[in-house]
Amino acid sequence: MDRRKFLKGSAILSGLLTLSPSDLWSFGKNSETSGTGKAKNIIFMVSDGMSLGTLSMADLYSRNILGKGSNWFNLYHEKKVTRALMDTASASSIVTDSAAASSAFGGGIRVKNGTLNMGANGEKHLPIWQQYKKAGKKAGCVTSVTITHATPAGFCVNSSRRNAEPQIVEMYADLELDVLLGGGDEFFNPSKREDKKDLYSVYRQKGYRILKTQNDLKEIRKGEKLLGIFNTGALPYSIDRAHLQEFKNTPTLAEMAHTAIHQMKDHPEGFVLQVEAGKVDWAAHANDVAALIHDQLAFDEAVKTAIDFAEKDGNTLVIITTDHGNANPGTIYGTEATKNFNSISDYQYTNEYILNKIQKEHSVKDIKDWIYEANKIVLNDEEAKHMLSFYNGLEKEEEGLYNYKKLPFKLYSDIQKSRNSVGWISMDHSGDYVEVAAYGPGNELLQPFIKNTDLHDLMLKACLI
């Protein structure tokens, strides 16, 4: 044995053993990308309900089908970010909902599931975007679901009920947040609200430009406050937007994020922005693999938008994470696993769209033809008959969050599983630890293992207030 090589290797090993866990976590990190000093801006990005399997499958699909790695994983490969695992529990459970999770980020405390920044005794914890607004910064939220949904609301308001969305709209108006982009026309439109209040008029009186379509994003003027409401309910899933003409004039998450950043970036005191891919969570609740992967990739494009800006700006902290896992999807071992997974590229629509098109009057052949057209899946007669039995009332209706029409999501995902080698543990949230990445000034504050409330403290330490 070469004694000099042995001694050199021993010295390296002993040096590694003297490092703290934090040092080991960031070992090999490019020091040029480490944050230093204080951030002027924050972009906080949440892929709602993103289990690690979701992140992994989106990267795998991107590499196998699109021929490129995902933007999130490229940040790891290029050592541009610090990275952590995060415990997502709420005050009432090891498995959180989005309201309690967002309150951990926004209010800095763990609250019971279903509440927004409200303590056990009714005490209100000041949401972080309000803190930054009072300090002179601009503040905004962007989401692919309703703008009043739990994740954006957790950064902005206090409420004992996350479902109080008609009231949250009015709270936003009082706060005069600078940019609000997402869905939820039913909470602004007097013809759809129970109290008949015209919240669009309220926002107009406060100086907001109202946006309704993708084309409207081209008409904004610098310095305007923006309220963009692009759908009743949530925005369409990304895969349906790509293939259905009726959704072509709906902006992507990346387009909305770009609009929000550029509307606020020149403010002398800086800005804070939350960007949420809310329908990743909805897709996981439905065990809908095509919806899940394509909305995660839409989030990934928004990540690129944020990082591209932050790299040029030099004063922006970008935090990329999720609020909790959901359904823990993943690829399953087998001789045809790769081929089966890649077959997802043949899927043209979400399961929601596919199943909504089936009617009880359809024949077995009709269903087999439609499923082949939509997913290139060849059903056998028994599978087609089983699906049809749901529409004829012969099977018990499926429940599930966001399954408003009681569609047979579980049945159909099981059929897909036998062809695409993707499995699910449930149709609901999970308590697994999740990924966090941070780029820019203050990213050095991110420790290897954190609680969700730690991100609240990190933002306040990293960004001037």
Residue numbers belonging to the annotated binding site for Zn(2+) = 48, 281, 285, 323-324, 429
Residue in this structure with the two tokens 């529990």, named with its chain if needed:
89
Residue 413 annotated among the catalytic residues of the structure: no
| Category of 440 on φ-ψ map: left (φ > 0), alpha (ψ -120 to 50) or beta | left
CA nearest neighbour of 176 among 130, 229, 124: 130
Q: Give one DSSP letter per residue of 145-196, joined into a string.
A: EETTSHHHHHTT--BS-TT-HHHHHHHHHHHT-SEEEEE-GGGT-TTTSTT-
Helical H segments across 362-451, by residue range: 364-375, 381-391, 409-420
Binding site membership for Mg(2+): which residues? 48, 149, 151, 276
Which 3 state secondary structure label does DSSP give 228?
Answer: strand
Number of C-beta neighbours around residue 79 at 10 A:
16
Catalytic position from the list 47, 62, 90, 98: 98
What are the distances in angstroms from CA 8 to CA 5, 12, 20, 332? 5, 6, 21, 43
Interatomic CA distance for residues 182 and 390, integer angstroms: 33
Distance CA 252, CA 305 (A): 12
Which residue in the block uniquely carries the two structure tokens 């406050």?
A: 225
Question: Phi first, then psi: what are they for 340, rounded to 5°?
Answer: -65, -45
SS3 465: coil
- Report how far apart the first and last C-alpha atoms of the chain are (Å, whole number): 59
Residues forming the annotated binding site? Answer: 48, 149, 151, 276, 281, 285, 323-324, 429
DSSP class of residue 66? I
Give, for 84, the enclosing helix (H) or strand (E).
strand 82-87
Signed CA dihedral, 167, 168, 174, 176: sign only = negative
- Residue corresponding to tokens 């001037």: 464
CA dihedral in degrees (42, 73, 49, 233; nearest 10)? 70
Give every CB contact of residue 125 below 8 A, 6+ residues apart in sequence.
103, 107, 108, 109, 111, 117, 118, 119, 158
Q: Which two tokens stand for residue 414?
A: 């099981």
Q: What is the CA radius of gyration of the chain?
A: 23
Active centre residues (catalytic)? 98
